Amino acid sequence: MKAFPFSLDGAAKDWLYLQPELFNTWGDMKHTFLEKFFPASRTASIRKEICGIRQHIGETLHEYWERFNKLCATCPHHQISEQLLIYNIKASDLQYVRQLAVGQQQPTMAAKICGICTSIEHPTDISPTL
C-alpha cells in the first residue's frame, strides 16, 4: 500500500494526496480509486464485451485466448465469475459448431458459368456479349 502512490501520475496522484481521509485498508483505497477513475458505465461496457467475445474466422485458439485475457486485464474488477466466463466461451463454440453442421447439410448450388465469357455472374443465355 505504501508503494501505490509511486504508481500514480497526474490527476490520480493529485487526487490521492488531496484525500481528507487516510485509507485503512487496500480494499477501501481500491474501491474509492475505481469509483473516481473507472466509471461504472465503462465497467459495464467491458463486462458486455467480455461476455460477448467470439473467436474470429481465421483466428487461432491461442490468439483468441490472448485477446480474451487482454480484455479481462483491462477491467480486473469485472466481477464475472470464472464459471460464467467458461460457459460463455463454450456456448460460443457450440453455436459455431452448429453453424458449421447446418452449412454442411445444405446442398450447395453449382455455379453456372457463361460459355461465352467464362463469367459466373450470369448464365450463357443472358450474356452481355450476345
- CA–CA separation, 19 and 8 (whole Å): 14
pLDDT, one tens digit per residue, over 55-93 is 888 888 889 889 988 988 888 777 788 888 777 777 766
Q: Sketch the domain layout of the chain as residue ranges.
A: 1-37, 39-97
Cα atoms in the 13 Å half-sphere on the side-chain side of 63 = 7
User: How far does CA 32 lie from the centroid of its chain?
Assistant: 27
Is the Cβ–Cβ distance between 55 and 64 less than 8 Å?
Answer: yes
Residue type, 91: A
- CA–CA separation, 37 and 81 (whole Å): 23
Highest-scoring range by mean pLDDT, 23-27, 44-48, 75-79: 44-48
**pTM tops 0.75, yes or no:** no
Q: What is the dihedral of CA 6, 7, 9, 11, to 10 degrees?
A: -100
